[in-house]
Amino acid sequence: MSHYFTNDNNLVSETRKLIYKYSSFSFEFLSDNGVFSKKHIDFGSKLLLETYLNNENRPLKVLDVGCGYGFIGIVISVITNSYVDMIDINKRAIHLTKRNIKKYKSFNGNAYVSDAYSEIKNKYNVIITNPPIRVGKIKLLEILEGAFDHLEKDGVLYFVIRKDQGALSIKKILEEKHKVEIINKDKGYFIIKVNN
């Protein structure tokens, strides 16, 4: 069975355009078969992004982990003038992200294939992620707890997770070492902020 996070070269391409409006900005994203939420921008991703933008509007150095076609990272870079790197294990997602980046002259950053933080050498002020859930708890925690090896001393992790995906048990695990806050909730989705 093909999951959106697997690299499946046999999957036919069928690109679609998705529109996203925020304040006076209008964005257009190409999506395709084989990537997460190919037909519409995901509700949890939108809630995470908009909650982030309500909390942070300064230009920062940001890493978007599991970027898909680049929705979260591109919007953050354009709106907050931030430097944003975007990573995903899925080659097609990164190919789409690179095509989407080209539409925004003010975008500043890079996109590349990485299994969690395997290719990450830099440190960031912010790591933001709508993390993959179906990969299992071990990989999920590698992404969430691993963030702190790639954040500056005062860096912050923002992520979205649904209550029925184990939001509260993940929060509890992170609380063993960090200050964890639920900063927004909607339709069973929790937006969680974790301080380094």
Ligand X SMILES: C[S@@+](CC[C@H](N)C(=O)[O-])C[C@H]1O[C@@H](n2cnc3c(N)ncnc32)[C@H](O)[C@@H]1O
- Residues forming the site for ligand X (CB under 6 A): 4-5, 36-37, 42, 45, 66-68, 71-72, 87-90, 93, 115-116, 130, 132, 135, 139
Q: How far is the CB of 28 from ligand X (least distance, A)?
A: 15
Instruction: Name the nearest CA neighbour of 115 among 87, 89, 83, 144.
Output: 89
- Pick the closer one to ligand X by CB: 49 or 154: 49
Helix (H) or strand (E) holding 92: helix 91-101
How big is the CA angle at 60 (ends 181 and 57), to the nearest 5 degrees? 70
Minimum CB separation of residue 4 from ligand X in Å reads: 6
What is the CB-side half-sphere exposure of residue 93 using CA atoms within 13 A? 30
Residue nearest ligand X by beta-carbon distance? 66
- The 10 Å Cβ neighbour count of residue 181 is 11
What is the Cβ-side half-sphere exposure of residue 106, based on CA atoms within 13 angstroms? 11
- Least separation in angstroms between residue 55's CB and ligand X is 18
Nearer to ligand X, 39 or 102 (CB): 39
CB of 40 or CB of 179, closer to ligand X? 40
Closer CB to ligand X, 118 or 195, in the complex: 118
DSSP state of 73: H
CB of 57 to ligand X, least distance (A): 20
